[in-house]
């Protein structure tokens, strides 16, 4: 995904940059509490990056599988989309 077109990626990138800046700015502080907090934050940041990469990979796999299915069965996909759209339209209209 392109960071310029994905607002979530932009937000996560900003968060990552902010955390990195905080870790760097507190590098000189030697108090035990700060050192432990920095260590936990760095570990959490790495876990978050790994989780994000995993979610992105799964999303890509799902998108590819959906694309292949729609390309193999275009008319069925159009019919299902039409049916779901009609059902949603009826439900929304009934609610109003």
The answer, yes or no, to whether residue 73 has pLDDT greater than 90, is yes
1 pLDDT higher than 50 = no
CB proximity list for 70: less than 8 A, separation 6 or greater = 77
Helices (H) and strands (E) in the chain, counts: 3, 0
Sign of the Cα torsion 57, 63, 66, 71 reads negative
User: What is the reported pLDDT for 65?
Assistant: 95
Average pLDDT over residues 50-65: 92
**Least reliable range by pLDDT among 25-39, 61-75, 77-91:** 25-39
Report the pLDDT value the prediction gives residue 75, as an integer from 0 to 100: 95
pLDDT for position 80? 94
6 vs 2 pLDDT, higher one? 6
């Amino acid at each position: 995904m392109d960071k310029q077109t994905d607002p979530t990626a932009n937000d996560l990138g900003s968060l990552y940059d902010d955390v990195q800046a905080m870790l760097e700015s507190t590098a000189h502080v030697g108090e035990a509490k700060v050192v432990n907090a920095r260590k936990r934050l760095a570990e959490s940041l790495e876990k978050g990056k790994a989780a994000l990469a995993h979610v992105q990979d799964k999303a890509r796999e799902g998108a590819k599988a959906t694309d292949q299915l729609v390309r193999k069965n275009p008319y069925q996909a159009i019919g299902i989309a039409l049916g779901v759209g009609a059902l949603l339209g009826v439900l929304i209209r009934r609610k109003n």
